Amino acid sequence: MPCGFSIPDILGRVAPSRPAILDDGATGWIRYGALATRVAAAARRLACPRRSLVFLPVANRVDGVVAYLGLLAAGHVPALLDPALPAGLMAALAARYRPARLIGAPGEERLEGADDGPILHPELGLLLSTSGSTGSPKMVRLGLGALGHNTGAIVEALRLGPNDRAAAHLPLHYAFGLSVLNTHLAAGASLVLTERTLLEQGFWDRLRDTGCTSLAVTPFHMEILDRLGLDRVAPPTLMVITQAGGRLAPDRAERIHRLMAARGGRFYVMYGQTEAAPRLATLPPERFAGHAGSVGLPLADGRFVILDGHGRSLPAGQIGQVHYQGPNVMMGYACGPDDLALGDVMGGRLPTGDLGYLDADGFLYLTGRANRYAKIAGRRISLDEVEGMAETTGPLAVVETDGRLLVVVQGGDADDLDGLRRRLARRLRLPAAALRTRAVDSLPVTAKGKVDYRRLAEEGA
Amino acid sequence: MTLEQDLAAIFRDILDLEPAVDLATVKYRTTVRWDSLAHMELITAIEERFDIVIDTVDIVRINSFPTAVAIIGGKYGAAA
């Protein structure tokens, strides 16, 4: 399995006439030869004597991809960010991290202020946010080796090849979306970048017109596909669906597996997190039967261990904390500029924050979360931080149920709760529908006197 | 209440719109609060209110208030 992540190598080994990328505005394919030329030109323009941290707000467009690849080729460390991040949050992040500034029109970008940025560790490849919704400045430090290894492992696990064509709708600043780009380029395949969503006629028209073969989705997108009906919208060329970004209900997984099998296609359940560059495991279609509900086996060179609360390894069948060991684990987090000089603090070991067990064949089943993060419409949200944001007179608890946030308030009244729901939604930049509220006489507590989050989540489902 | 008023109430509630917002201007994805999650909730709320099941082709076609009124009133013959 190759390590390192060389953009010129990745682009250079594909025949120049092969199609590479397309976006909503493009009239024709940008082929690998043209892409390599544009990226090389960008790298020359962005070259500096000193490696720099560069914030890159990136949309799913060709110029965004060229800027990302150009920055990597120039040896800089991009921090890929959501272009819709509120200006205030962006400014605060920039004030904290002191990145070099990308200036100029798309296709003509240069760097400014590259001289007084933070010191970067030589293995640091890129930064991704953990959760932009609450304004947290915490970033994940990914090494080039980890990215390169995971890219190769995914290509191998999904059997990606040059004839694959991704419907690239997942945001590029999201680890899952970025890995779709990295893996398809590494395989010499093509990508139809789009900012359209599965709920638009134009999205499905585009997939059909361009003959897309693969689609990556989160559980929320699966909810949409269930509602629309896969066979109603998916063109016959769509042969591969991969799902990650949260736990998929087993019955939904069975349905999609059956529908894909019926059309001679493949459905891969995947498990990952930004901290793993990003994918950890996959359940391939040929192993689906008998393992419904599992997220499968670890990708190449990775392994899972299940630990109890004291860090002791548990045998198959017993539920504990899921830990992962492998070459794709992050170097660590960064909370500020000084952390960017740090090397690898993880040693290839990642506590995933999830609970689960391994069966006798080593298949991983996830049963819950040990930490307090939720995936809402694909976005990662800290439940404790949401609790902190809610101003109520009584005690409250926030849990995730069914892909929505549930705010349980002790002694709340209906009008107060509705107002709270809307205020929180606005602050989190979520639709009001993503939050539900409930009033209770008293919050359930565990034997230790802490809020019984598990019970609240179960009751709310 | 007319169909339009009924739908307007649903839109304003689900999309959490300020009273001053003109419904003629809201569009899926352009209007910040009308994202995919809100759209799914909107469709569900309309279905429940009028006791209908909205076709896939219409789920992906309803992207503004006027199209919702035209489609729900027209194809589904929904009345308030």
pLDDT, one tens digit per residue, over A344-362 is: 999 999 999 999 999 999 9
pLDDT at residue number A427 = 85
Confidence of residue A180 (pLDDT cuts 50, 70, 90): very high
pLDDT at residue number A1 = 43
Rounded-to-integer distance, Cα A57 and Cα A66, Å: 13
Per the document, the length of chain A is 461
Q: Is the pLDDT of residue A341 over 90?
A: yes
pLDDT at residue number A190 = 98
Please name every residue paired with A330 in a beta bridge, in sequence order, or none if there are none.
none
Q: Which residues in chain B are contacts of A86 at CB distance < 8 A? A: none
Report CB contact under 8 Å: A433, B41: yes
Question: Do the bridges between strand A303-307 and strand A320-325 make them parallel or antiparallel, or are there none, so unpaired?
Answer: antiparallel
pLDDT at residue number B80 = 60
pLDDT at residue number A266 = 97
Q: Is A32 helix (H, G, I), strand (E, B) or coil?
A: helix
Rounded-to-integer distance, Cα A218 and Cα A216, Å: 7
- What is the number of CB-based contacts under 8 A between chain A and chain B? 64
**CB of A221 closer than 8 Å to CB of A375:** no
Domains, chain A, with CATH or none = 7-368 (3.40.50.12780), 373-460 (3.30.300.30)
Domains, chain B, with CATH or none = 3-74 (1.10.1200.10)
Q: Is the pLDDT of residue A434 over 90?
A: no
Confidence of residue A276 (pLDDT cuts 50, 70, 90): very high
Q: Is the pLDDT of residue A122 over 60?
A: yes
Share of chain A above pLDDT 90, in %: 73
Q: Is the pLDDT of residue A69 over 90?
A: yes
**Strands across the sheet containing A53-57:** A53-57, A77-81, A124-129, A139-143, A332-334
**CB of A285 closer than 8 Å to CB of A299:** no
**CB of A166 closer than 8 Å to CB of A184:** yes
Q: Which residues in chain A are contacts of B60 at CB distance < 8 A? A: 199-201, 203-204, 228, 233
Who contacts A286 (Cβ-Cβ below 8 Å, separation ≥6)?
none
Q: Is the pLDDT of residue A132 over 80?
A: no
Q: Which residues in chain A are contacts of B53 at CB distance < 8 A? A: none
pLDDT at residue number A96 = 95
Q: Is the pLDDT of residue A250 over 80?
A: yes
Of residues A116 and A205, which shows the higher confidence score? A205
Least confident of A128-132, A196-200, A273-277: A128-132
Please name every residue paired with A435 in a beta bridge, in sequence order, or none if there are none.
A405
pLDDT at residue number A135 = 65
Rounded-to-integer distance, Cα A80 and Cα A57, Å: 6
Check if A204 contacts B (Cβ < 8 Å): yes
Q: Is A264 left (phi over 0), alpha (psi -120 to 50) or beta?
A: left
Rounded to the nearest integer, the mean pLDDT of chain A is 92
pLDDT at residue number A426 = 86
Q: Which residues in chain A are contacts of B37 at CB distance < 8 A? A: 220, 376-377, 430-431, 433-434
Report CB contact under 8 Å: A431, B33: yes
Least confident of A6-10, A247-251, A315-319: A247-251
Q: Is the pLDDT of residue A2 over 60?
A: no
pLDDT, one tens digit per residue, over A219-239 is: 989 999 999 999 999 999 999
Of residues A419 and A334, which shows the higher confidence score? A334
Nearest to A197 among B15, B29, B61 (CB): B29
The DSSP secondary structure of B14-56, one letter per residue, reads HTT--TT--GGG-BTTTSTT-SHHHHHHHHHHHHHHHT----H
pLDDT at residue number A133 = 56
Which of A119-123, A383-387, A439-443 is the most confident on average? Answer: A119-123
pLDDT at residue number A380 = 79
Task: Identify the residue among A133, A169, A194, A200 best suited for mutation to test binding to B, counting B beta carbons within 10 A and taking the highest.
Answer: A200
Question: Which of A143, A153, A133, A125 shows the shortest CA–CA distance to A270?
Answer: A153
Of residues A45 and A371, which shows the higher confidence score? A45
